[in-house]
């Protein structure tokens, strides 16, 4: 049922090594004679001291060589279209092809952001309607589509807290943002970027936010709390009403990290649970491709009270036409140029339109069903332990610990991850959340049928068996990927670090 796989091994040279003088992959259109005649010698158009003296050391290749090089590289890259990609909190679900096709229409790709409003009514309508849909899904009042990614959404959310307390004249006192110890790393990083001190609150024995610790942490210095619900253990924070009460009573705001929104679409809304600010990871929840790291999009929804702080411009509708509104005196300003990652947002529009209210709800339900199926099946293997509350259901993801496996066999969560690659499935997120030792964080999403989940479980089982019978197989893994286990220490060591081809050349020269 699950077989070892073999990834392509091209040993592809770095593109600079493929260069041969005089080759060209693309020829720029010749300038018309009349233009040249009118303007004269191009050399006279630049000031002498600013002319580039020698060519940039770019490689020279023909078109077909460029295509072959990058195609070979692509064959050495695992992707969600090949199979399960169960990175916890990353929500690697299927990216519908129709959404890509629509995003490549010239009526979008060739659109300039500063065009006259009369010429961009179609795209403004899409953005306006999408922001209304996201407000409905999250239970918020108004949504900004501007942030380029979830982390930028968090930064914006923290800036909105800042603006809120500033307007109330309490910013100088409210300097602390509370973050649970199970939070995504972006939470404390975003809070710090927005000028707050981070206060960490531990989880309780069930894996939820420790209410007593929260009560102790909340003071007149509290600006707010950043929370993921369901949290990174996949557990729903049942005490959310109390949490919201504690934070609000202390004068703080409640921030919802949307990384785990997929589990609750159409079931329960962050706004209804008392969250004031919500960010959404479009590239997770709404099925847009992650592109090997980005681009994503990180819209932010807020309550009515906070609407005035959203970045400019806002897309507004006057009943007939759509406009870009820059007149918002309390706005925090801008977090990037223009309006957001529109190419990504259009795909989300197509995704929501395709699934509809019923489809989104079903997606959430199946993602939770799949995660709980994995909880049961992986627990049955007997080698991996489910920390915290073993009885309560998980939501979209679950976290297992390989601590016992490590003690018994010397095989770590990292080794398990690497060996899974040999079976042609991607590894879970390892060593996160940090509150679980030897953590393996698994999020299947709704996109995989039972057969594919069983394949993953079988791979997990085989790795556990190997760990006991032939641990060296697991410790040496991976063997079937494009390269064997990489030396990551060497990669980051100041003496051996190579961050560009230029650095590589310099090191080579120095060695000779």
Partner 1 sequence: MKELGIESIDELYLDVPEQFKLKRRLDLPSTKSESEVKRHIESLLAKNATNQSMPVFLGAGCWPHYVPAVIGSIIQRTELQTSYTPYQPEISQGMLQLLFEYQSLICELTGMDVANSSLYDWASALGEAARMVTRLTGRKEILVPQIIHPERYATLRTYIEPAGIQAEKIGYEEDTGLLNLETLENKVSEKTAAVYVENPSYLGFIETQGEEVAKIAHDHGALFIVGVDPVSLGVLKPPGDYGADIVIGEGQPLGNNMNFGGPLLGIFACSGEMGMIRQLPGRVVGLTSTEDGMDRGFCMVLQAREQHIRRHKATSNICSNESLCAVASAVYLALLGPVGLRDLGETILLRSHYVMRRLSEIKGLKTPIFKSSHFKEFTVNFGGLEVHEVHSRLLERNVHGGKDISQEFPEFGETGLYCVTEAHSKRDIDRLVEALEEVLGERGS
Which of the residues 46 through 75 are near partner 1 (CB under 8 A)? 46-47, 49-53, 55-61, 63, 66-67, 69-71, 73-75
What is the closest distance, in whole angstroms, from the C-beta atom of residue 460 to partner 1 in the complex?
Answer: 15
> Which among 248, 164, 161, 169 has a CA at the least distance from the CA of 197?
161
**Footprint of partner 1 on 426-455 (CB under 8 A):** 426-427, 429, 432
**Footprint of partner 1 on 359-418 (CB under 8 A):** 359-361, 365, 368-369, 372-373, 376-377, 392-393, 395, 417-418
> Which of 84, 223, 240, 250 is close enough to bind partner 1 by CB under 8 A?
240
The dihedral sign for the CA sequence 180, 185, 188, 191: negative
Task: Using CB under 8 A, count the residues that bind partner 1.
Answer: 195
Cβ atoms within 10 Å of 21's Cβ, excluding its own = 5
> Which among 441, 110, 445 has a CA at the least distance from the CA of 281?
445
* Contacting residues for 303 by C-beta, under 8 A, at least 6 apart: 140, 141, 271, 276, 277
Stretch that binds partner 1, among 181-189, 249-257, 300-308, 464-472 (CB under 8 A): 181-189
Q: Considering beta carbons, is residue 60 or 452 the nearer one to partner 1?
A: 60
What is the closest distance, in whole angstroms, from the C-beta atom of residue 308 to partner 1 in the complex?
Answer: 16
Q: Considering beta carbons, is residue 354 or 470 the nearer one to partner 1?
A: 354
- Angle among Cα 90, 95, 101 to the nearest 5 degrees reads 145
Distance separating alpha carbons of residues 231 and 202, to the nearest angstrom: 13
Told to check if 172 binds partner 1 by CB under 8 A, we report no
> Which of 154, 438, 443, 466 is close enough to bind partner 1 by CB under 8 A?
154
Give the Å distances, CA to CA, from 124 to 111, 160, 232: 12, 24, 35
Determine if residue 287 is left, alpha or beta; phi over 0 gives left, psi from -120 to 50 gives alpha, anything else beta.
left
Told to check if 32 binds partner 1 by CB under 8 A, we report yes
> What is the secondary structure of 427-446 as a DSSP string?
--EES-STTSTTEEEE---T
Distance separating alpha carbons of residues 87 and 154, to the nearest angstrom: 21
> Which of 169, 319, 329, 494 is close enough to bind partner 1 by CB under 8 A?
494
> Which of 45, 318, 511, 512 is close enough to bind partner 1 by CB under 8 A?
45
What is the closest distance, in whole angstroms, from the C-beta atom of residue 286 to partner 1 in the complex?
Answer: 12
What is the closest distance, in whole angstroms, from the C-beta atom of residue 482 to partner 1 in the complex?
Answer: 4
- Angle among Cα 302, 100, 81 to the nearest 5 degrees reads 100
> Which of 500, 509, 510, 511 is close enough to bind partner 1 by CB under 8 A?
500
Stretch that binds partner 1, among 210-218, 403-411, 465-473, 501-509 (CB under 8 A): 501-509
Distance separating alpha carbons of residues 305 and 142, to the nearest angstrom: 10
Stretch that binds partner 1, among 216-224, 350-358, 404-412, 436-444 (CB under 8 A): 350-358
Q: Considering beta carbons, is residue 469 or 503 the nearer one to partner 1?
A: 503
**DSSP state for residue 29 in the 8-state scheme:** P
What is the closest distance, in whole angstroms, from the C-beta atom of residue 326 to partner 1 in the complex?
Answer: 10
> Which among 273, 271, 327 has a CA at the least distance from the CA of 143?
271
What is the closest distance, in whole angstroms, from the C-beta atom of residue 413 to partner 1 in the complex?
Answer: 12
Contact status, residue 421 vs residue 386, Cβ threshold 8 Å: no
Stretch that binds partner 1, among 112-120, 217-225, 456-464, 466-474 (CB under 8 A): 112-120
Told to check if 167 binds partner 1 by CB under 8 A, we report no
What is the closest distance, in whole angstroms, from the C-beta atom of residue 377 to partner 1 in the complex?
Answer: 8
**Footprint of partner 1 on 452-481 (CB under 8 A):** 478, 481
**Footprint of partner 1 on 249-308 (CB under 8 A):** 264-269, 272-273, 281, 283, 289-296, 298
Stretch that binds partner 1, among 215-223, 301-309, 336-344, 458-466 (CB under 8 A): 336-344
> Which of 1, 3, 42, 320 is close enough to bind partner 1 by CB under 8 A?
42
**Footprint of partner 1 on 217-236 (CB under 8 A):** 235-236
**Footprint of partner 1 on 306-335 (CB under 8 A):** 332-335
- Report residue 493 as tokens: 């060591």
Told to check if 83 binds partner 1 by CB under 8 A, we report no
What is the closest distance, in whole angstroms, from the C-beta atom of residue 168 to partner 1 in the complex?
Answer: 17
Give the Å distances, CA to CA, from 30 to 27, 33, 335: 8, 9, 39
Contact status, residue 18 vs residue 65, Cβ threshold 8 Å: yes
Distance separating alpha carbons of residues 139 and 466, to the nearest angstrom: 48
What is the closest distance, in whole angstroms, from the C-beta atom of residue 409 to partner 1 in the complex?
Answer: 20
Distance separating alpha carbons of residues 388 and 374, to the nearest angstrom: 16
Contact status, residue 399 vs residue 374, Cβ threshold 8 Å: no
State the helix-helix crossing angle for 413-422 and 450-469, rounded to 10 degrees.
120
Q: Considering beta carbons, is residue 407 or 492 the nearer one to partner 1?
A: 492
Beta bridge partners of 256: 227, 278
């Amino acid at each position: 049922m699950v077989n070892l796989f073999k990834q392509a091994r091209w040993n592809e040279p770095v593109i600079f090594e493929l260069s041969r003088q005089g080759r060209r992959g693309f020829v720029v259109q010749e300038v018309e004679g009349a233009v040249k005649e009118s303007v004269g010698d191009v050399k006279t158009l630049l000031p002498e001291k600013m002319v580039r003296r020698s060519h940039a050391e770019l490689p020279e290749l023909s078109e077909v060589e460029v295509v072959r090089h990058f195609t070979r590289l692509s064959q050495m890259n695992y992707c969600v279209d090949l199979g399960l990609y169960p990175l916890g909190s990353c929500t690697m679900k299927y990216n519908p092809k129709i959404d890509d096709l629509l995003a490549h229409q010239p009526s979008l790709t060739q659109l300039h952001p500063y065009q006259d409003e009369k010429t961009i009514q179609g795209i403004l309508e899409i953005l306006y309607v999408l922001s209304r849909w996201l407000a409905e899904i999250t239970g918020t009042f108004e949504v900004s589509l501007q942030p380029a990614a979830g982390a930028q959404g968090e930064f914006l959310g923290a800036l909105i807290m800042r603006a809120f307390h500033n307007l109330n004249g309490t910013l100088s006192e409210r300097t602390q943002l509370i973050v649970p110890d199970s939070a995504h790393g972006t939470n404390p990083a975003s809070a710090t970027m927005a000028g707050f001190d981070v206060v960490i609150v531990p989880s309780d024995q069930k894996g939820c936010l420790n209410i007593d610790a929260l009560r102790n942490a909340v003071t007149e210095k509290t600006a707010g709390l950043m929370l993921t619900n369901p949290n990174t253990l996949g557990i729903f924070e049942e005490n959310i009403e109390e949490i919201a009460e504690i934070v609000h009573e202390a004068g703080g705001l409640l921030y919802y990290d949307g990384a785990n929104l997929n589990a609750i679409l159409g079931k329960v809304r962050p706004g209804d649970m008392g969250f004031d600010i919500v960010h959404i990871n479009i590239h997770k929840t709404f099925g847009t491709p992650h592109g090997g790291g980005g681009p994503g999009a990180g819209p932010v929804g807020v309550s009515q009270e906070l609407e005035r702080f959203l970045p400019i411009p806002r897309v507004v509708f006057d009943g007939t036409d759509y406009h870009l509104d820059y007149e918002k005196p309390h706005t925090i300003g801008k977090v990037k140029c223009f309006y957001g990652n529109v190419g990504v947002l259009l795909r989300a529009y197509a995704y929501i339109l395709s699934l509809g209210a019923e489809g989104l709800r079903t997606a959430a339900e199946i993602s939770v069903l799949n995660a709980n199926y994995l909880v049961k099946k992986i627990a049955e293997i007997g080698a991996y332990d489910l920390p915290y509350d073993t009885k309560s259901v998980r939501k979209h993801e679950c976290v297992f610990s390989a601590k016992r496996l490590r003690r018994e066999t010397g095989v770590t969560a990292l080794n398990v991850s690497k060996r899974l690659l040999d079976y042609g499935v991607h590894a879970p997120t390892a060593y996160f959340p940090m509150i679980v030792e030897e953590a393996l964080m698994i999020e299947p999403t709704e996109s995989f049928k039972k057969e594919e989940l069983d394949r993953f479980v079988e791979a997990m089982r085989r790795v556990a068996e190997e760990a006991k019978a032939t641990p060296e197989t697991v410790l040496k893994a991976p063997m079937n990927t494009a390269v064997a286990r990489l030396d990551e220490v060497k990669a980051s060591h100041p003496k051996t670090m190579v961050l560009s081809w230029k650095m590589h050349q310099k090191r080579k020269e120095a060695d000779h």
